Amino acid sequence: MRRYAIPLLAFLILAALILTGIFGSRFVVYIAMRVMILGIFALGYNLLLGRTGLLSFGHAAFYAGGAYGAALFFLHVQKHPLLCITAGVALALVLAVIIGFFCVRHTEIYFAMLTLAFGMMVFSLLWNLRDITGGDDGLVGIAREPISLGFASIPLVKPGQYYFLVLVFFLLSLGLVYVIRQSPLGLILAGIRENDKRIEFAGISLKNYRLAAFVISGGFAGLAGALGTLLNSNTTPFSAHWTHSAEPVLVSLIGGLQTFTGPLFGSLVFVVLREIIERYTQNWMLWFGIILLVIIMGFRGGIAGAISELLGRKTPSAVGKEGGRP
Amino acid sequence: MNRVLLETRALRKAFGRVQVANALDLTFEAGVITSIIGPNGAGKSTLINMLSGLIQPDSGEIFFMGQQITRLPIHRRVKMGLCRSFQVVNVFPELTAFDNIQIPVLAVLGRAGRLLIPLRGETIAREEANAILSRVGLLHASESRATALSHGDQRLLEIGIALAARPKLLFLDEPTAGMNPVERTKILDSIKRLSAEGKTTFVIVEHDMDVVFSLSDRIVVLHHGDIIADGTKEQIRESSKVREVYLGDEVDE
């Protein structure tokens, strides 16, 4: 029975996601897309935090890189949505290589502070380069053109249509992160988390592999940013703000740092809770803080850790160990 | 057989005013088990740290198989075949023993950067990691997390990680510290056997004189950053200078 629990759960969630796209109200579809986009952001981010053990406070810069990359490509080059998304991811990757080059030389608090500093630099660039980025207005009028395949074209204008593009990218990201976690690189990154002094004596270039994790997670942030731009039809400089950088950190913490599915649960809770709390009070941060406190103190392995404990699974593999330290 | 693996020229290091390496000239030849001994503070650890790349010498040069490696980063030295183990357990605590070994194996096979291929498919790496595990006698514990192993087993794992990088020259920093007699015999036998196979040359820093004399072909004695004796077991045993350092002034007859 337990052996089938995980595939069954995955199948049910997938079915629910597809049904949401077909039958969900505009609002539900919109929320679901936001959950998936934040999910992509956090999944990639958790490769860096949960797997490699590096705490970055600047990943909003790469999200914004994806967002502005896609928007600028749309406004100045080509309106094809897939090309826009590709351009966004490419810009995020370039940014991650440049910023990562400087940051991965340092660890712990120095690393975190450097990423924060670079993130704020990107924010102020977006804010001040009005001619290119639109300043505080951001870039507007990013329409969702149909995806033309020559013989046919897939419309994306309605949220219910765009939903499935987001779903496809969400599933692709899920698959890619899963594969990376099971790969040799995934093991090396876990080794860096476990003992970054010893890893070099195992013949691993610490800097290069840290950079790899940084750039990969930056790429996922860029994908999330590009999808977010197409969802909202605009960009805002606040997507690069450090408060936005905190989102994947919180989401990973809520969901479970050492787990694959943790960031997904975290994203769901984050977006839905915020939506609910905001209906009743302006101070959603206060209530959210309390809930976060309960989760962190109550379930050290996050939501995913708690669920796998419920299912009675004990550390299936040490690399992707469930539960674990916060 | 007398192939020079590692050579140092006028290697110097000082911490503040304390000279811990005073123009050291040393050569290590393939196949010769060398022990480095000396009282506390003699500069043994500093020497190994410099040779393995953990700290930079103030001046002097290090050559490994004819190549200058003085400023080379650690991981490049490891890939060339210069490796070390640590005095205190220094493993990947939450990973399984198998994964601990697999990391250096993947690194030397040049497969560590593969990100789209499942780890399970790396059969060569798996076989090699299992071979190392059985060599250090940990095959039965391959799926245990490193932290769950006994202290002695963690020490064995420590040496296993160093061996997994296929070193040509391997520094063992007090390999038998904290081991019980059974484990000690096991590790000494492994070292002898591996040395006889001829792929790896061992250089050992050790306090335990039984270990030193049972294992070494050559002994280097350090004192205050100087080499005060360098020779065979017999030469060292008979050296009055060594006695003086180890036993103090009482030897003055």
3-state SS record for A159-220: HHHHHHHHHHHHHHHHHHHHHHHHCHHHHHHHHHHHCCCCHHHHCCCHHHHHHHHHHHHHHH
Distance from CA of B224 to the nearest CA of A (A): 27
Percent above pLDDT 70 for chain B: 96
Give the residue from A83, A14, A38 showing the smallest Cα distance to A231: A38
Show Cβ contacts of residue B121 under 8 Å, excluding neighbours closer than 6 positions: none
User: Among B92, B114, B161, whose Cβ lies nearest the Cβ of A183?
Assistant: B114
Quote the pLDDT of residue A326: 36
B121: DSSP letter: G
* A195/B92 CB distance under 8 A: yes
* A187/B102 CB distance under 8 A: yes
CB contact at 8 A, B168 and B199: yes
Q: How far apart are CA B83 and CA B170, in angstroms?
A: 5
Quote the pLDDT of residue A134: 86
Residues of chain B with C-beta less than 8 angstroms from the C-beta of A184: 106, 111-115, 117, 119, 122, 125
Quote the pLDDT of residue A323: 37
ipTM (interface predicted TM): 0.88
pLDDT digits (tens, 9 = 90+) for A128-178: 998 888 888 888 888 888 888 777 888 888 888 899 999 999 999 999 999
* A318/B94 CB distance under 8 A: yes
Decide if pLDDT at A324 tops 70.
Answer: no
CB contact at 8 A, A96 and A233: no
Backbone angles phi, psi at B25, to 5 degrees: -115, 115
Mean pLDDT of A1-11: 76
* Mean per-residue pLDDT of chain B: 87
CB contact at 8 A, B151 and B99: no
* Residue B105: closest C-alpha in chain A: A202
Residues of chain A with C-beta less than 8 angstroms from the C-beta of B102: 187
Is residue B247 very low, low, confident or very high in pLDDT (cuts 50, 70, 90)?
Answer: low
User: Among B93, B118, B161, whose Cβ lies nearest the Cβ of A183?
Assistant: B118
Is residue A315 very low, low, confident or very high in pLDDT (cuts 50, 70, 90)?
Answer: very low
Within chain A, what is the greatest distance between any pair of CA atoms? Answer: 60
Give the residue from A278, A214, A233, A306 showing the smallest Cα distance to A33: A233
| Segment of A65-74, B17-26, B238-247 carrying the highest mean pLDDT | A65-74
Percent above pLDDT 70 for chain A: 94
Quote the pLDDT of residue A321: 43
Q: How far apart are CA A281 and CA A287, in angstroms?
A: 9
3-class SS string, chain A: CHHHHHHHHHHHHHHHHHHHHHHCCHHHHHHHHHHHHHHHHHHHHHHHHHHCCCCCCCCHHHHHHHHHHHHHHHHHCCCCHHHHHHHHHHHHHHHHHHHHHHHCCCCHHHHHHHHHHHHHHHHHHHHHCHHHHCHHHCCECCCCCCEECCCCEECCCCHHHHHHHHHHHHHHHHHHHHHHHHCHHHHHHHHHHHCCCCHHHHCCCHHHHHHHHHHHHHHHHHHHHHHHHHHHCECCHHHHCHHHHHHHHHHHHHHCCCCCCHHHHHHHHHHHHHHHHHHHCCCHHHHHHHHHHHHHHHCCCHHHHHHHHHCCCCCCCCCCCCCCCC
pLDDT digits (tens, 9 = 90+) for B170-214: 999 888 887 888 888 888 888 888 888 888 899 999 888 888 888
B105: DSSP letter: H
Show Cβ contacts of residue B160 under 8 Å, excluding neighbours closer than 6 positions: B97, B100, B101, B132, B133, B135, B136, B138
Quote the pLDDT of residue B251: 44
* Residue A321: closest C-alpha in chain B: B94
User: Among B52, B79, B103, whose Cβ lies nearest the Cβ of A187?
Assistant: B103
Backbone angles phi, psi at B226, to 5 degrees: -115, 150
* B113/A324 CB distance under 8 A: no
3-class SS string, B59-103: EEEEEECCEECCCCCHHHHHHHCEEECCCCCCCCCCCEHHHHHHH
Q: 10 Å Cβ neighbour count for B183?
A: 18
* A183/B162 CB distance under 8 A: no
Quote the pLDDT of residue A150: 76
Q: How far apart are CA B251 and CA B239, in angstroms?
A: 12
* Mean per-residue pLDDT of chain A: 88
Q: How far apart are CA B183 and CA B156, in angstroms?
A: 8
Q: 10 Å Cβ neighbour count for B144?
A: 16
Q: How far is CA B29 from CA B8, B12, B201, in A?
A: 12, 21, 8
Residues of chain A with C-beta less than 8 angstroms from the C-beta of B112: 184-185, 188, 203-204, 209
Show Cβ contacts of residue A274 under 8 Å, excluding neighbours closer than 6 positions: A284, A288
Half-sphere exposure of B3 (CA within 13 A, CB side): 13
Residues of chain A with C-beta less than 8 angstroms from the C-beta of B145: 315, 318
Mean pLDDT of A30-37: 94
Backbone angles phi, psi at A282, to 5 degrees: -75, -30
* B161/A212 CB distance under 8 A: no
* Residue B96: closest C-alpha in chain A: A318
Is residue A309 very low, low, confident or very high in pLDDT (cuts 50, 70, 90)?
Answer: confident
Decide if pLDDT at A110 tops 70.
Answer: yes
Domains of chain B: 4-251 (3.40.50.300)
pLDDT digits (tens, 9 = 90+) for A242-290: 989 999 999 998 888 888 888 999 999 899 988 888 888 888 888 888 8
Quote the pLDDT of residue A87: 96
* A203/B108 CB distance under 8 A: yes
* A318/B95 CB distance under 8 A: yes
Q: Pick from B79, B82, B92 the residue to mutate for testing the A interface (most A CBs within 10 Å).
A: B92
B208: DSSP letter: -
Decide if pLDDT at B253 tops 50.
Answer: no
* A201/B78 CB distance under 8 A: yes
Is residue A316 very low, low, confident or very high in pLDDT (cuts 50, 70, 90)?
Answer: very low
The pTM for the full model equals 0.90
Q: Tell me which of A65-69, A189-193, B102-106, B156-160 is least confident.
A: B156-160
CB contact at 8 A, A187 and B62: no
* A199/B103 CB distance under 8 A: yes
Residues of chain B with C-beta less than 8 angstroms from the C-beta of A214: none
Quote the pLDDT of residue A186: 94
Q: Which residues of A touch B (CB under 8 A)?
A: 179-180, 182-188, 190-191, 194-195, 197-206, 209, 212, 216, 315, 317-319, 321, 324
Distance from CA of B240 to the nearest CA of A (A): 38
Rg, Å, chain B Cα set: 19
How many degrees, rounded to 5, is the angle at CA B7 between CA B2 and CA B11? 155
Give the residue from A258, A264, A245 showing the smallest Cα distance to A173: A264
Quote the pLDDT of residue A318: 40
Residues of chain B with C-beta less than 8 angstroms from the C-beta of A318: 94-96, 99, 145
Regarding beta strands B59-64 and B169-173, do their DSSP bridges make them parallel or antiparallel, or are they unpaired? Answer: unpaired
How many CB pairs below 8 A link A and B? 119
pLDDT digits (tens, 9 = 90+) for B132-144: 998 888 899 999 9
Is residue A320 very low, low, confident or very high in pLDDT (cuts 50, 70, 90)?
Answer: very low
pLDDT digits (tens, 9 = 90+) for B82-134: 999 998 889 999 999 999 999 999 999 888 888 888 888 888 999 999 999 98
* Residue B126: closest C-alpha in chain A: A184
* B161/A201 CB distance under 8 A: yes
